[in-house]
Structure 1
Amino acid sequence: MNKMYCNDDLLEIRAGILHIGVGNFHRAHQQFYTHMLLHEKDQQSWGICGVCLLPSDEKIVNNLRAQDLKYSLTVCGRNGKNEVHKIYSLCELIWGVEDPDAVVRKIADDSIKIITLTITEGGYNLDKETGEFILDDEKIKYDLENPASPTTVFGFIAEGLRNRKVKNGGGITILSCDNLQHNGDTAKRAFTAFIEAQDKDLAAWVKENVTFPNSMVDRITPATTPEDIERLNKMNGTNDKAPVYCEDFAQWVIEDCFMAGRPAWERVGVEFTDDVTAFENMKLSLLNASHSLLSYPSFLMGYRKVDQAMENKDLVQFIRNFMDIDITPFVPVPKNTDLENYKETLIERFANHSVSDQVSRLCSDGVSKFPVYIIPNLGKMIKEGKDLTRLAFLIASYRHYLKYKTDDHGNTFEVSEPWLTINDELLIANENPLDFLELSAFKGVHLKTTEQFTDLYIRFVQDIRNSGIDWVLQSIIK
């Protein structure tokens, strides 16, 4: 059995952080760091109150409540040795569907000093082309007109801050933990736009009393399937309804700009800085972009686990060429970072058999991921006349994945793309492959009118259709 790290004496934990979006990544990353810190007596006012806002969260809420909000986290070593932590840092849990007023009261509570978020890359409701907050969304319009009965994360935070302002609850920090470049700036743009449209007095208060630090987060955390739950419980000697597992690598870099204090996370390995730009650019451009590069081709080749896909030497070479040739010229290296070692570690992390991430997870929500992970560097590559082969192949693979929903072996599948627009659906259905290049995910660049790109892309679309992904990949590697 794996070694279990826990402490049953942590009885004085109080919530100083409210977190919205109690998913697996949050429970393997922020909760892990905070749990490790709460073993120190002077930090036990920094427990986390989790908040779930979606009807689909009912299962995780019920499972966590059934075990007093405790759960096991299995950290899977690349050397095959695992550590199991019994996580105690989640000290409260509110389900907004069940008790929306409790969410508002907790945000207004002066004991809460930080609101953290994992609401997904697409959850900030920003137009992919202009970057502006989408005020005419139906749910947003409802919340703007009905501030006392919010339904979205924006409405809940606005109402909570309004109550906080009225009761003189003091300033607060909103800290995004989503995989977005300048995620704090993104959060600030989204929440201040909503609040400005709803309540100008509150907007003025927010300007003076709320900070939005940028942060960079990194830890591969697969979705937990029913089979995983059975496997983890058997392996660890536990009976956990909501276990999580993750890799042994973790990184968290945060701009040190907190309005009302913060935990001493630096004691457990978090790095604080004045500017996270170099760190987040390296991570998003190399790790996340490489995940996207791997996802659609490997899925269409029939792979369903990332570590299994990494046993294919052509896929590994494809990723290394992407990192070395396409991306490294555009990645400023953070201080004290060995970029070659970082890239080699990424390959090791992807191949970690103990984590065995699902390729389908990497494929999901491409419409939100492409603008963040792929398009910024693709735009630079086009401008500088770089080789576009690998990214043209990626986008041709993405079209095939969305349009035909069948892999090279004839297996059909469902796609998970919650942010596709009606126009996106029409572009996917269109038989002219050039029209696909107008998908909302690609609005940051003019792919359709870039001849250097379209020549490669059209060729790959046809070759994938006629000869399959594997054949096309081999032609690129040679």
Structure 2
Amino acid sequence: MKIVDYKYHSKDITQGIVHIGVGNFHRAHQAFYTNVLLEDNDQKEWGICGISLLSSDEKNVENLKSQDLDYTLTVCGRDGSDQVYKIGALQELIAGYENPKAVIDKIAERSIKIISLTITEGGYNLDKGTGNFDLEDEKIKHDIENPRFPSTVFGFIAEGLRVRKHRGNGSITILSCDNLQHNGDTAKKAFTTFINAQDDELASWVMQNVTFPNSMVDRITPSTNPADIKRLNANSGSTDKVPVYCEDFIQWVIEDDFIAGRPAWERVGVEFVNDVSAFENMKLSLLNASHTLLCYPAFLSGYRKVDNAMHDPLFTALLMDFMNIDITPYVPAPKETNLELYKKTLIERFANRSVSDQLSRLCYDGISKFPVYIMPNLSKMIKDGKDLKRITFLIAAYRHYLKYKKDSKGLTYDVAEPWLTSEDSKFIESSNPLDFLNLTPFKSYNLMASEKFTQEYLYYAEIIKEKGITAVLNTIVSKN
């Protein structure tokens, strides 16, 4: 298979973007868009400097550096055809756990106009119940008291901005690329709360010199395991140590609020708007919420890949009913968007055999995902007296997944919930299913105040344990 190589020369590129969190999604999405744009002679100042703050990224950092930061991206078509691209948008990669000063100096550089972020839904240090920034976190307290020796993304960016301000190197934009409601507003809340607690003078400068546009990002990008690396390289004829693969669908919608300038991403398909809310609501409520609804019941049924579950008519029907009956009334379509086509395309994307995403990836960190993808619409549904069976079933399935750690085939599994508190663990282990509704992502919604919700949830919690997930799912789908 022929690899589409980039045509620009790295010596001609300067860095205008710092990106924190150089994971697979960034390399398949923002770096992909930027890679195409760098072909234009008047856009050479928008190369990316990647920053990794986590020592767990060390192997990936070493591998990328060993191949001059270039990597291959395989785009998997829904028609079964693939295309491989060589990506060169990463011009530098700094390991903050090895050289924190280099991170701070890079953020302070005059040429850097944008700090973009993919630090996950849970990375903004917001209390999952209240939504407030947690100033009592031990790492946060350390960074507030020791500004020159940061350990968190908030400490690094604050110190970088402080040096930038001191050097007179101008304004900058912080661009969140994470799946959060109003992600720019969320980033602004997190970073300004931290900076206000640390440095009044810097806080005043940030108010005048930093913008936080909201954005919506979309491209399904699985994690890559050793078998994937071998398969991808065999298909492309490459020896890439860190290849990435993704679906053929891609979307990026951004509010055009860049105080220091921006790349002309609109030339390569990015949409700039005044308000991203409708796009964001559509994507989080339909795609991400459907992923959440799918992953726990499918995993408990014994599936491990998204496409395999989606070729089971039970799960296709579950998701279609969820999107059409439960969510569509709360999702006004953005202008010129065909919502029916969007939903149909989502089913096709989930079922893409070439992508074959991991259900474990979708199950990861439900504590951070439920407050973003599920709870806002659930609270409206309860208030409006809507049918709740699919979501009460989901929450009961989530409890079963966390509590019993064994699927319907008798296979045990590990749960990955990095933000689970010791109090949450007690609620999960409790023999009373109602205690689970006090879990961090649910407690502020007072679900026990709804008799309809609690009755249905208790019913599903008991019957899933008694009859198994598939038997229960059959009753839910057949009633529609």
Question: Partner residue of 1:315?
Answer: 315
Structure 1 residue 128 displacement after superposition: 2.2
Partners of 2:307 and 2:353 within 8 A in 1:
yes
Question: Partner residue of 1:234?
Answer: 234
Aligned residue type for 1:432: N
Cα deviations by residue, 1:238-284 (Å, 9 ceiling, x for unpaired): 00001000000000000000010000000000000000000000000
Secondary structure in 1 matching 2:174: strand
Question: Partner residue of 2:455?
Answer: 455
Q: Distance in 2 between matches of 1:14 and 1:221?
A: 28
Aligned residue type for 1:412: T
Q: Distance in 2 between matches of 1:349 and 1:130?
A: 34
2:417 is the alignment partner of 1:402: no
Partners of 2:302 and 2:407 within 8 A in 1:
yes
Structure 1 residue 449 displacement after superposition: 2.5
Question: Partner residue of 1:79?
Answer: 79
Partners of 1:188 and 1:212 within 8 A in 2:
yes
2:40 is the alignment partner of 1:40: yes
Structure 1 residue 8 displacement after superposition: 6.0
Question: Partner residue of 1:217?
Answer: 217
Aligned residue type for 1:471: A
Q: Distance in 2 between matches of 1:222 and 1:117?
A: 18
Question: Partner residue of 2:197?
Answer: 197
Q: Distance in 1 between matches of 2:65 and 2:125?
A: 30
Aligned residue type for 1:195: I
Structure 1 residue 168 displacement after superposition: 0.1
Structure 1 residue 126 displacement after superposition: 1.1
- State the aligned residue count: 478
Partners of 1:60 and 1:242 within 8 A in 2:
yes
Partners of 1:304 and 1:359 within 8 A in 2:
yes
Q: Distance in 2 between matches of 1:351 and 1:176?
A: 28
Q: Distance in 2 between matches of 1:434 and 1:132?
A: 25
Q: Distance in 2 between matches of 1:273 and 1:405?
A: 44
2:441 is the alignment partner of 1:441: yes
Q: Residues 325, 281 of structure 1: CA spacing in aligned structure 2 closer, same or farther, 3 A cutoff? A: same
Question: Partner residue of 1:142?
Answer: 142
Structure 1 residue 3 displacement after superposition: 4.5
Aligned residue type for 1:84: V
Question: Partner residue of 2:65?
Answer: 65
Question: Partner residue of 1:326?
Answer: 326
Partners of 1:216 and 1:280 within 8 A in 2:
yes
Question: Partner residue of 1:376?
Answer: 376
Secondary structure in 2 matching 1:328: helix
Cα deviations by residue, 1:292-343 (Å, 9 ceiling, x for unpaired): 0000000000000000111100110000000000000000110000000000
Moved more, 175-184 or 457-466: 457-466
Gaps of 5+ in 2: none
Partners of 1:2 and 1:82 within 8 A in 2:
no
Secondary structure in 2 matching 1:303: coil
Partners of 1:3 and 1:82 within 8 A in 2:
no
Q: Distance in 2 between matches of 1:129 and 1:429?
A: 19
**Could you tell me the TM-score, scaled by structure 2's length?**
0.99
**Could you tell me the TM-score, scaled by structure 1's length?**
0.99
Partners of 1:120 and 1:179 within 8 A in 2:
yes
Question: Partner residue of 1:118?
Answer: 118
Aligned-residue CA RMSD in angstroms? 0.8
Secondary structure in 2 matching 1:93: strand
Partners of 1:371 and 1:444 within 8 A in 2:
no
Identical pairs, percent:
66
Question: Partner residue of 1:299?
Answer: 299
Structure 1 residue 19 displacement after superposition: 0.4
Structure 1 residue 406 displacement after superposition: 0.2
Q: Residues 256, 165 of structure 1: CA spacing in aligned structure 2 closer, same or farther, 3 A cutoff? A: same
Partners of 2:8 and 2:39 within 8 A in 1:
no
Secondary structure in 1 matching 2:11: coil
Partners of 2:133 and 2:189 within 8 A in 1:
yes
Secondary structure in 1 matching 2:349: helix
Secondary structure in 1 matching 2:12: coil
Partners of 2:6 and 2:39 within 8 A in 1:
no
Question: Partner residue of 1:427?
Answer: 427
Structure 1 residue 450 displacement after superposition: 1.3
Partners of 1:129 and 1:444 within 8 A in 2:
yes
Secondary structure in 2 matching 1:336: coil
Secondary structure in 2 matching 1:11: helix
Structure 1 residue 169 displacement after superposition: 0.6
Question: Partner residue of 1:285?
Answer: 285
Secondary structure in 2 matching 1:473: helix
Q: Distance in 2 between matches of 1:128 and 1:312?
A: 33
Structure 1 residue 444 displacement after superposition: 4.0
2:97 is the alignment partner of 1:97: yes
Partners of 1:5 and 1:86 within 8 A in 2:
yes
2:336 is the alignment partner of 1:336: yes
Secondary structure in 1 matching 2:311: coil
Gaps of 5+ in 1: none
Partners of 2:119 and 2:178 within 8 A in 1:
yes
Structure 1 residue 354 displacement after superposition: 0.5
Q: Distance in 2 between matches of 1:260 and 1:305?
A: 43
Secondary structure in 1 matching 2:217: strand
Aligned residue type for 1:384: D
Question: Partner residue of 1:19?
Answer: 19
Q: Distance in 1 between matches of 2:85 and 2:241?
A: 15
Structure 1 residue 133 displacement after superposition: 1.1
Question: Partner residue of 2:386?
Answer: 386
Q: Please show how residues 265-280 of structure 1 align to structure 2 within 5 Å.
A: 265-280=265-280
Secondary structure in 1 matching 2:400: helix
